[in-house]
Amino acid sequence: MTIFLAMCAVEASAELLYGLIHARYVLTPAGIEALRDKFVAGVFGRCPRVYCHGQPVLPVGLTDRPHQSAVCLYCPRCGDVYQHRSRANLSLDGAYWGTTAAHLLLMHHTELKPKRSQERYIPRIFGFKAQHHNDDKRGWHDTTTGLKNAMQNCRSSNGSGSRVLN
């Protein structure tokens, strides 16, 4: 039993050591080029955001300290990070990639940096834009200006809006 526990501890230490060596490697010129090739080929996956139109993503860690968070995916088009979809990668430590490699790659290869997406999803209620008030902790309102105006116009033209809107 003690031998089994010792073997497990050695295996965990070896994985950590390998991961931290990998984090150093991806910062070297050879590591950056390997990262570039995989990024261009879309090996790390693509951004799930609709308006990023399948932009390839890069693996990043949210911190350089091990055992803090799993590896995430950074999209250079929307500038956001996403959780990995595969269960296997959800357990991969983010420190094995680190916080720097993805951005160092884009700094060295500026041609790979896409233009920031200006397209934004616009929430709508019955075709009218929903407005978000930052001071409201409840989030999205169903009190759209356009919808309110339409409802008021309906009420004023029919005398009583409740018949029309119910």
Residues binding Zn ion (CB under 5 A):
47, 49, 52, 75, 77-78
Q: Which is nearer to Zn ion, 25 or 82 (CB)?
A: 82
CA 6 to CA 143: how far, in whole Å? 62
Q: What are phi and psi of 83, to 5 degrees?
A: -75, 150
Report in angstroms how near the CB of residue 13 gets to Zn ion at its nearest. Answer: 36
Q: Provide, rounded to whole angstroms, the least separation between the CB of residue 3 and Zn ion.
A: 48
Nearer to Zn ion, 47 or 101 (CB): 47
Q: How far is the CB of 112 from Zn ion (least distance, A)?
A: 14
- Tell the smallest beta-carbon distance from residue 80 to Zn ion (Å): 6
Q: Which residue in 22, 51, 42 sits closest to 112, CA to CA?
A: 42
By C-beta, is 23 or 58 nearer to Zn ion?
58
Q: Which is nearer to Zn ion, 2 or 118 (CB)?
A: 118
Q: Which tokens is 94 given?
A: 């983010």
List, in order, residues 6 or more apart from 131 with CB less than 8 Å away.
141, 143, 144, 145
Q: Half-sphere exposure of 153 toward its Cβ, with a 13 Å CA cutoff?
A: 6
* Residue 14, phi-psi category: left (phi > 0), alpha (psi -120 to 50), beta (remainder): alpha
Is the CB of 23 or the CB of 81 nearer to Zn ion? Answer: 81
Map residue 131 onto helix, strand or coil. Answer: coil
Q: How far is the CB of 78 from Zn ion (least distance, A)?
A: 3
